[in-house]
Amino acid sequence: MDLKRPLRLKNKIQEYNWGSKTAIPSILGLPAPSKNPMAELWMGAHPKAPSEVEIDGRWVRLDKLISDEPEAVLGKKVASKFCNQLPFLFKIIAAEKPLSIQAHPNKEQAINGFERENRLGIPLDALERNYKDKNHKPEILCAITRFEALKGFRNIEEIVYLLKSSVPNSLREEIEILERDGLKPFFSAIMNLKGKKKEEAISELLLNSQKLKNDPIFSLVLRLNKHFPKDIGIFSPLILNIYVLEPGEAIFLPAGELHAYIKGVGVELMANSDNVLRGGLTHKHVDVKELLNIVRFESSPIQKIKPIASGKIEVIYPAPVEEFALHKISLREGTSFSSAEDRAVEIMIVLEGNVKIDIPETERHMKLKRGNSVLIPSIMPKYLLSGNATIYKATVPL
Q: Specify whether the CB–CB gap between 338 and 384 falls below 8 A.
A: yes
- Identified catalytic residue from 129, 154, 223, 278: 278
Q: Which of 44, 25, 52, 40 is nearest to 266 (CA)?
A: 40
Which residues have CB under 8 Å from 41's CB, separation 6+? 11, 12, 13, 14, 24, 27, 28, 91, 92
In the three-class reduction of DSSP (H, G, I as helix; E, B as strand; rest coil), residue 69 is classed as: coil
Distances (CA, A) of 119 to 115, 130, 276: 6, 13, 19
* Nearest CA among 83, 185, 95 for reference residue 134: 83
- Judge whether 278 counts as a catalytic residue: yes
Query: What are the phi and psi torsion angles at 358 (to 5°)?
Result: -110, 140
Q: Crossing angle of helices 195-211/156-166, nearest 10°?
A: 90
CB 264 within 8 A of CB 145: yes
Beta strands 7-10 and 308-310 are unpaired
Which residues are paired to 43 by β-bridges?
Answer: 90
C-alpha angle 300/305/311, rounded to 5°? 160
- Which residues, at least 6 apart from 194, have a Cβ–Cβ distance to it below 8 Å? none
Query: What is the CA 258 to chain-centroid distance, rounded?
Result: 13
| Cβ-contact 260, 78 below 8 angstroms | no
Catalytic sites, residue numbers: 278
